[in-house]
Structure formats: structure tokens, C-alpha cells
Amino acid sequence: MAQALESIPNNVDLSSDRRLQRALEQWQPNFLSWWREVGPEGFQGHQIYLRTAVSVEPDGWAMFDYVRMPEYRWGIFLAPKSGERKIGFGDNLGEAAWDEVPGEHRNALRRIIVTQADTEPASVEQQRLLGKVAPSLYDLRNLFQVNVEEGRHLWAMVYLLHRHFGRDGREEAEELLARRSGSSDKPRILNAFNEPIEDWLSFFMFAMFTDRDGKYQLSALAESGFDPLARTTRFMLTEEAHHLFVGEMGVDRVVQRTAELMAQGKDPRKEGAVPLDVIQRYLNQWFTLSLDLFGGEVSSNAADFFAAGLKGRFREDDQPEHKALSVTYRLEVPENGALVEQEVPLRNAMNEVLRDEYVKDCQRAVDRWNKTLQRSGVNGVSLRLPSRRFHRGVGPCATATFDPEGRLISEADYEARKGDWLISEADRAYVRALMHPVHERAKVASWIAPPGKGINGMPVDFEYVKPPDA
């Protein structure tokens, strides 16, 4: 096992820290058992054209080669230290950033790190069956790239737990391998990570909307006064960009295929493609599930995290002022059957402030999909983001029912119209029936357009996944 540990690429001087080595030596075999048990089903002997991070330098963070997934080198990397970092926001603004966990923030930091960590293995579990029905070798490779990197993100968080949280950290690291997405007795912590992902449209929506929550949460943590967390999440963000690309462009290719058929006057349903109204319902469902991941609109947790310097805003440097005191934030919340305006201290609205950035970014992607519709010759119809009040499970809007325009409606109306707005059983069955594996070079499933270009400069029809004996 010692030998295996030596092969862990890292820039944290792992070889000089005996305690940390021992902790990771114990955890690593459990991680591999977890991967075999609930990681991607099948393909474990296949050779996948994957990038691996072997250093944080520009020439080392994306080394491409054929790899068998269980032999993937999950590494531990922190973005390089940049001089004497200062805390950039909150009550401790301007003080030196912490290299070790301050006692008074230990519980909060542990909770934030565990919540972040839990999502990484959860997403791998959710996606475990998709390889069997991949629409092309290109997509199959992308799925596995995302899966191994979410595995690395788990390693990144487990490093922090082992290095900085002693015995508690080791226990949390074990628990991360014990919870299971969708389980009734040991579920994953956040709701969206217990939802099934059984078809590729859900996968693309997840990578578009749910991984994108990851981008914003990681960006907020990249501002943290706890420097190891800031540097870890900074490096994770470089990988995250590809996951977001897989999601946004995956949906774009589904839209393109549908649009091309519509422009020819054909019915997507008769051609083995996904009708636009089904795409819209998938969008509604995954966007709103992901909105919940930002937490409640008004949150004392969020205020405490900001005050303490643990979790900042998106690009905190660009904010005009970093204490966020004596400023308020206005929002509308349901109260006794009506929407009322509420004004709260800005610090208490930090979840909503981050959600604002996220919604803007999602709107940009929807605009791109609508351009694809137009470019393919489809006019007069478009995709839209539903209101952020619609279909919420967390925060004040979860206490009432709204339509996708954000209007308060009765529960009876909501129940009656839900099928128009959210994924129905019939939608699921229809999309699932389209899922046939296309594992031949240069071919792609009927419901999606081929990608515009390949990975790492390779052609689109490159053999991204080779069978074990090739």
C-alpha cells in the first residue's frame, strides 16, 4: 500500500507527513472498494482517453492518455500559495489568512467541507449506470472524465479532513464512503444528490445546472480565510469548467437535433429525438432542484460564514466593499397567501446573492440554446428558465406553490398542472426508451447531434474508449 501511496500525485509534500500518510493509507482501499461497488458499472477494464492532473503547472494539470479507471491517479493538489494572503471579507477583513483551522471556526468549517465533499461521490453514484447507454464514444469518455474528477474532488476534501480535523476528520472521511445517493437510511446530505439520473438528458441537465452550483459554491469557498480550503477549491474550479462544458454543450446538441427535425417539418417523437416540451420540463426540474442547493434566501448560517471569513461572495475582489454591513437586500417572500417584500441585512442574504450570479449564468446558457434553435430554422418557440420561486424545496418559497412565471397559485392548480411543468412518468419512460448504447466509432444516437469538435485536439471519431483487449 505504501507504494500505491507514493504514486498519488500531489503538491502537499505527502511523503514528509507520516500521520497524514497513515490516514490516507487506511482510507484509500476503502475508496477503491467504494468505486468498485457504486462507481461506473462496467468499463473498469476499458482504456479511456482521460486527462489526469499530475501537477498544478500549465503543462501538468491536464495530461491526456489511455487509462483504466481503477488505475486512475487521483491526486491531491492545492493552487500555489500567492504571497501573504489576507482575509478578504467579513469581520476579520485584512487579517492574515489561516493555515490551520481556528478553534472557534472548527465546527463550521468541518460542516462546510463535509457538505461539499458529500456531493462528489454522490454524483458518481447517481451516474453509475449511464455508461451502458452512452450515445457515442465521445460522450462515454466525457462521462468517465467527469466521474474520475469527482472522485478526485472527494480526495481533495478528504485530504483537508485528514490533515486538519484529526480523529473527527477521519470519521467524516469514512462516512463519506458510507452514505449512498438515494438511500432511505443513509442518504447523501443535499436533496439534488439523491435524485436518480437514469438517462443522458438528466445527466446533461445535471452537469449544466447542478455542477454549476458547484462552480458557485467552490468560488465562494475559494475566497475563504482558511487558506488550504481556498487553494484546494481554486484548483478544483479548473476541472469544473469541463463538467460545465459537457452539460451545456450536451443540452445544446440535444436541442440542435430536435431543432433540425422541426425545421424539416418532422415530429421529433417519430424520429427518435426529444420533443422541445420534454426538454423544457427537464430544464425546469434540474434548474429548480439546483436552486435549492444554495440554501434558504434568508440564512443566519450564511451570515455567520461570511462574518467569520469562511465563505465569501462570487469574485469577492470585485465587490465595492467587503464587510457587507449596513447594507440591505430586498426580496419577495410568500406570507399568508401573498408575496410581500422583505428587506434583510445583506449578510443574511448571502445565499441569495450567490444564487443571483448563478441564475445570470444559467440564463446565458439558455440564450445559447435558443440561438441554436433559431440557427437551425426554428422560430417562434424558445426555452426559458422558470422563476426561482417555482418548485422549491428549501427556503420560504417551499411553503407555497408557484407557477413557472413565479405567480402564487393554489395547491390544487399546482397539482393539476404539474405534469406540464415537471418531468412526468411518461417523459421519463419516453426518454429512457431512447437510451440505446452507441459504442461504435463515428456513430451517434438518434436523439443528439454529433459534437462540433473532439477532445484535446483529437477528431470527433477518435477511439476515446477502447475495449480491454485492444
Residues 6+ apart with CB under 8 A from 470: 47, 463
From the list Fe ion, ligand BYC, none, pick the one residue 190 interacts with, judged by a Cβ distance below 5 to 8 Å according to partner type.
ligand BYC
Judged by CB under 6 A, the chain residues 38 through 97 that form the site for ligand BYC are: none
Closer residue to Fe ion (CB): 142 or 284 = 142
The residue range among 56-64, 153-161, 249-257, 272-280 that interacts with Fe ion, by the rule CB under 5 A, is: 153-161
**CB 123 within 8 Å of CB 286:** no
Judged by CB under 6 A, the chain residues 224 through 263 that form the site for ligand BYC are: none
The C-alpha atoms of residue 470 and residue 221 are separated, in whole angstroms, by 43
Alpha helices in 48-191 (DSSP H): 106-126, 137-164, 166-178
Q: Which of 295, 386, 404, 450 touches ligand BYC (CB under 6 A)?
A: 295
Placement of cell 473532439 in the chain: 454
Nearest distance in Å: CB 26, ligand BYC: 24
From the list Fe ion, ligand BYC, none, pick the one residue 217 interacts with, judged by a Cβ distance below 5 to 8 Å according to partner type.
ligand BYC
Angle at 190 between CA 407 and CA 192, to 5 degrees: 60
Q: Which of 123, 142, 147, 387 touches ligand BYC (CB under 6 A)?
A: 123
Q: Which of 118, 195, 211, 316 touches Fe ion (CB under 5 A)?
A: 211
The C-alpha atoms of residue 285 and residue 391 are separated, in whole angstroms, by 8
| 151 touching ligand BYC, by CB under 6 A | no
Residues 6+ apart with CB under 8 A from 458: 49, 464
* DSSP strand pairing (408-409 vs 465-466): unpaired
Q: Which of 110, 152, 153, 164 touches Fe ion (CB under 5 A)?
A: 153
Q: Which of 51, 75, 120, 313 touches ligand BYC (CB under 6 A)?
A: 120
The C-alpha atoms of residue 120 and residue 383 are separated, in whole angstroms, by 29
The residue range among 78-86, 88-96, 117-125, 259-267 that interacts with ligand BYC, by the rule CB under 6 A, is: 117-125
What is the identity of the amino acid at 121? P
And the C-alpha cell for 279? 426538454
Placement of cell 469538435 in the chain: 453
Count of positions on this chain that bind Fe ion (CB under 5 A): 5
Q: Which of 279, 293, 349, 385 touches ligand BYC (CB under 6 A)?
A: 293
Alpha helices in 207-321 (DSSP H): 211-221, 227-263, 276-291, 300-308
Binding residues for ligand BYC (CB under 6 A)? 112, 115-116, 119-120, 123, 150, 190-191, 210-211, 213-214, 217, 292-296, 299, 301-302, 311, 351, 394
Binding residues for Fe ion (CB under 5 A)? 120, 150, 153, 211, 243
